[in-house]
Structure 1
Amino acid sequence: MGKFDDLPETRRKGLEKMEEVYGFDMSDGEGDFFRYTADHLFADIWNRPGLSNRDRRLFLIGMLVGQRANDVLGIQVPAALKNGELDEDALRELVILACHYDGWPNGSRMNAVVEDAIGKAKRAAGS
């Protein structure tokens, strides 16, 4: 029996996909924001056919860079690294691409997020 089996099917499906995408344990939450996040975004949108999690992640990272959303980028980049969707080289290539298409200052901010995630992953692997 799974830890979400006592929840409605849509919520279970959403929480399981959230764990898969983010790479960390999730728990059920309250309120409309959490409901839309779990039941719609993850149970429905992230489970649609046609794109892999990696495809969705690449697209999302691109949008976040363009929006200067480094707070959310700081969640997505480590998750992509942890889930094996993007390795260190691929993340660093995205930085170079961002610098040239979205401007050097913004690419530099992304670089800080990427290098922080890589450093943390290496330290975690070493312990």
Structure 2
Amino acid sequence: MEEVYGFEMSDGTGDFFGYTADHLFADIWTRPGLTDRDRRLLLIGMLAGQGAADVLGIQVPAAYANGELDDEALREIVIFVCHYAGWPQGARLNSIVEETIAKAARRAARAGESS
């Protein structure tokens, strides 16, 4: 689960978290046949189509941080989603994508300043 999301998952408790971590991330995300990038593309498309901006706000930055999708790929996904899921869904995704890219640029600039 931490590998997929790209950050430490220390706040999970209870059965829901346990089932999610054990089944979804230990079994489903590790099945053969699709890469993590493939799975992420499918998931981002489904979430965008459903208008699930809250979960996209986790998935897009995780895909970016893990190196699965870069600036160009994320922006291309937005264009594609707009035409298949509708402009409002694509616009929401675009906001998340641009925020993700901008945050990464700010972090890189700060890291460059402290070097």
- Fold-level match, TM-score > 0.5? yes
Partner residue, 1:23: 6
Q: How does 1:5-84 map to 2 (within 5 A)?
A: 18-27=1-10, 29-84=12-67
Structure 1 runs (4+) deviating above 3 angstroms are none
Q: Distance in 1 between matches of 2:33 and 2:24?
A: 15
Q: Distance in 2 between matches of 1:126 and 1:36?
A: 39
Q: Which amino acid aligns with 2:51?
A: R
Higher relative contact order (CA 8 A, sep 6+): 2
How many residues align structurally?
110
Q: Which amino acid aligns with 2:15?
A: D
Deviation at 1:29, TM superposition (A): 2.9
Aligned-residue CA RMSD in angstroms? 1.0
**What SS does the aligned partner of 2:97 have?**
helix
- If the length of structure 1 is used for normalisation, what is the TM-score? 0.83
Partner residue, 1:104: 87
In structure 2, the gaps of 5 or more residues are: 111-115
Q: Provide Cα deviations, 1:100-120, integer angstroms capped at 9, x if missing partner.
A: 111111111110010011111
Deviation at 1:35, TM superposition (A): 1.0
- If the length of structure 2 is used for normalisation, what is the TM-score? 0.91
Identity %: 73
Q: Which has the higher helix share?
A: 2
In structure 1, the gaps of 5 or more residues are: 1-17
Deviation at 1:28, TM superposition (A): 6.5
Partner residue, 1:116: 99
